[in-house]
């Protein structure tokens, strides 16, 4: 009887640990993806409202559509959450950093590993999220022509990668601390 009770307690602890791990992963992804998606959508909208004539850059803030920004944010966030929860970014980050001979057994306090892992993750997110939003803006929101959408995507590549990379680096520390509080094994 005592052995049976211990088995039940062990199963309950494993279930609780698994549930806690899943919740921590969702919280981590959400806390990382909310600022990243917001700043990427805002940057993209500002870029689309920017005009360069005679070597002078002007931004027409009247051309910003907060409804389009919100729509793009929601779509980007859903895609980013799916990526974050189902793509093995830790394994990809370790593989990528190993290509550069960077020690990759720990993420905490390892600046080269953190920078390179964030870079490859940012590139993957860009390659999935940006074309999806381009298709959304062209076919559904009708905010751009096909040529404008493709040109904006290509022209904005360095800027969007930079914004995604920096916002990922900044949001990751806070997200990790909160997720680690939920699941110390994370």
Contact 144, 137 (CB under 8 A): yes
Supply the pLDDT for residue 146.
81
Contact between 172 and 118 (Cβ < 8 Å): yes
Q: Which of 47-51, 58-62, 152-156, 159-163 has the highest mean pLDDT?
A: 159-163
Q: Which of 11-15, 56-60, 95-99 has the lowest mean pLDDT?
A: 11-15
Is 33's pLDDT higher than 80? yes
Local structure of 56: helix, strand or coil: strand
Question: How much is the mean pLDDT over the chain?
Answer: 85
Q: Residue 14: which pLDDT band, with cuts at 50, 70 and 90?
A: low
pLDDT at 38 over 60: yes
Secondary structure of the chain as H, E, C letters: CHHHHHHHHHHHHHHHHHHHHHHHHHHHHHHHHHHHHHHHHHHHHHHHCEEEECCEEEECHHHCCHHHHHHHHHHHHHHHHHHHHHCCHHHHHHHHHHHCCCCCCCCCCCHHHHHHHHHHHHHHHHHHHHHHHHHHHHHHCCCCCHHHHHHHHHHCHHHHHHHHHHHHHHHHHHHHHHHHHHCCCC
Task: Determine phi and psi for 112, rounding to 5 degrees.
Answer: -60, -40
Percentage of the residues of the chain whose pLDDT score is greater than 90? 44
pLDDT surpasses 90 at 61: no
């Amino acid at each position: 009887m005592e052995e049976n009770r211990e088995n039940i307690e062990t199963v309950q602890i494993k279930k609780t640990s698994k549930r806690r791990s899943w919740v921590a992963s969702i919280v981590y992804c959400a806390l990382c993806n909310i600022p990243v998606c917001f700043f990427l959508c805002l940057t993209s909208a500002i870029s689309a409202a920017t005009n360069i004539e005679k070597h002078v850059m002007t931004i027409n803030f009247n051309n910003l559509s907060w409804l389009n920004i919100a729509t793009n944010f929601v779509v980007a966030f859903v895609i980013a959450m799916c990526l974050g929860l189902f793509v093995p970014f830790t394994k990809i980050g370790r593989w990528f950093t190993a290509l550069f001979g960077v020690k990759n057994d720990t993420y905490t306090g390892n600046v080269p590993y953190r920078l390179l892992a964030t870079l490859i993750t940012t590139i993957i997110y860009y390659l999935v999220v940006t074309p999806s939003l381009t298709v959304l803006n062209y076919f559904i929101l009708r905010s751009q022509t096909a040529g404008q959408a493709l040109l904006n995507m290509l022209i904005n590549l360095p800027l969007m990668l930079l914004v995604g990379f920096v916002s990922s680096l900044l949001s990751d520390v806070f997200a990790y601390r909160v997720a680690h509080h939920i699941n110390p094994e994370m």
